[in-house]
Amino acid sequence: MTRYCVQIHPLSPFASAMTGGMLFGHVAWSVREAFGEERLTALLEGYCSGRPFAVLSDAFPHGFVPVPAVPAHVWRRAESVKDRKRLKSLKWLPVEALCKSPIAWQKEARDNIGVSATQEGPFVREVWRTHNSISRLTGTTGEGPFAPYDVSANVFARGQTLDLYVDLDEERLSADELKGLLEAVGGFGFGRDASTGAGKFDVAAMAKLPENAPSRGWLALSASAPSGCSFDGDLSFYRPITYFGRHGNVRANEGTPFKKPIVLADTGAFFWCGEPCAMQWTGKAISGHSAYADAVHQGYAPLLPVPELQPEDFE
């Protein structure tokens, strides 16, 4: 599979965080809308047996990725309580810093302000917006189901660019087709409240990246299901996350829009192999969590090598 980095520019607030699993669902629905049901069925053939047509990452600040979820003592060398609190806020590493010793991460890591396009505030901040519905009978908001209510949304810094990493099987879906599908998602809107203008973005650039070099340590760029992937459990670290999914598009308004909860290793997981190997992605697809037999969840995650971490760093 070919690795691409897609740069996008948010055009409106996002009511949902752009995760790889959700974005994959949007792309799948866009395939159905653009090319038809048969094309989507063909692309999903073998998806649950280790043959994904595309594996998408979360959206990250341009040029940065999450700090791997390794134990704090591996890279945080705090001399005081104040310094320890400061280090806890450092969530992002420049991509090139992954190939450096973890001792260097402390100087390279950035907080949400350090990765902002403006450097005047965090790259994304939470705001609250008031919503309401108008009763057709009374012409007012009234009380009960029509009462005004507040919902949160994420507003990005002016001029902020986000990076998506995509591993693409170009024999089944071309890069130009993927770009068109992402543009369709951005035109309609991503995630919750897209129908009211949230989640819109432009695709600014799409660049092919070289294959990953062999490594024993790996950083996962989206939530994944790593069980059965032959990683060393003693030297692999991740934060578990329970994902409560729901269907989109026409199935959002049918009788069973909600899916069963699934537990995943969250974005930023660190996986360790006994011997150096070259990989692009890991994980496995998830099915059986929906009332619809053909529904799948992206349990795959793109990977980046973390070559300088050694077993003695964890001691």
CA distances, 61 to each of 76, 194, 249, 296 (Å):
22, 22, 28, 28
How many domains does one find in the chain? 1
Q: What is the predicted pLDDT for the residue at 79?
A: 64
Q: What is the predicted pLDDT for the residue at 77?
A: 74
Give the separation between CA 114 and CA 110, rounded to whole angstroms.
5
How large is the average pLDDT for residues 48-72? 95
Choose between 119 and 275: higher pLDDT.
275
Provide the strand spans (E) within 187-252. Answer: 201-209, 215-220, 240-243
Please report which residue ranges of 198-304 form alpha helices under DSSP H. none
Q: The domain containing residue 29 runs over which residues?
A: 2-314
How large is the average pLDDT for residues 289-309? 91
How large is the average pLDDT for residues 274-299? 91
How large is the average pLDDT for residues 239-264? 87
Give the separation between CA 78 and CA 155, rounded to whole angstroms.
32
How confident is the model over 26-58, as pLDDT tens digits? Answer: 999 999 999 999 999 999 999 999 999 999 999
Question: For all residues of the chain together, what is the average pLDDT?
Answer: 91
Residue 91: CA count within 13 A, CB half-sphere: 12
User: In this structure, are residues 24 and 56 in contact, taking their beta carbons and an 8 Å threshold?
Assistant: yes
pLDDT higher than threshold 90 for residue 261: yes
pLDDT higher than threshold 80 for residue 81: no
Q: What is the CA radius of gyration of the chain?
A: 21
Amino acid at 146: F
Q: What is the predicted pLDDT for the residue at 313?
A: 85
Q: Which of 30-44, 114-128, 136-150, 262-276 shows the lowest mean pLDDT across its residues?
A: 136-150
Chain-centroid distance of CA 247 in Å reads 17
How confident is the model over 165-196, as pLDDT tens digits? Answer: 999 999 999 999 999 999 999 999 998 888 88
Q: What is the predicted pLDDT for the residue at 162?
A: 97
Give the separation between CA 59 and CA 3, rounded to whole angstroms.
15
Q: What is the predicted pLDDT for the residue at 227?
A: 84
Under the banding of pLDDT at 50, 70 and 90, the label for residue 119 is: confident
Give the separation between CA 268 and CA 237, rounded to whole angstroms.
9
Q: What is the predicted pLDDT for the residue at 148?
A: 84
Under the banding of pLDDT at 50, 70 and 90, the label for residue 78 is: low
How confident is the model over 145-158, as pLDDT tens digits? Answer: 778 888 889 999 99
pLDDT higher than threshold 70 for residue 102: yes
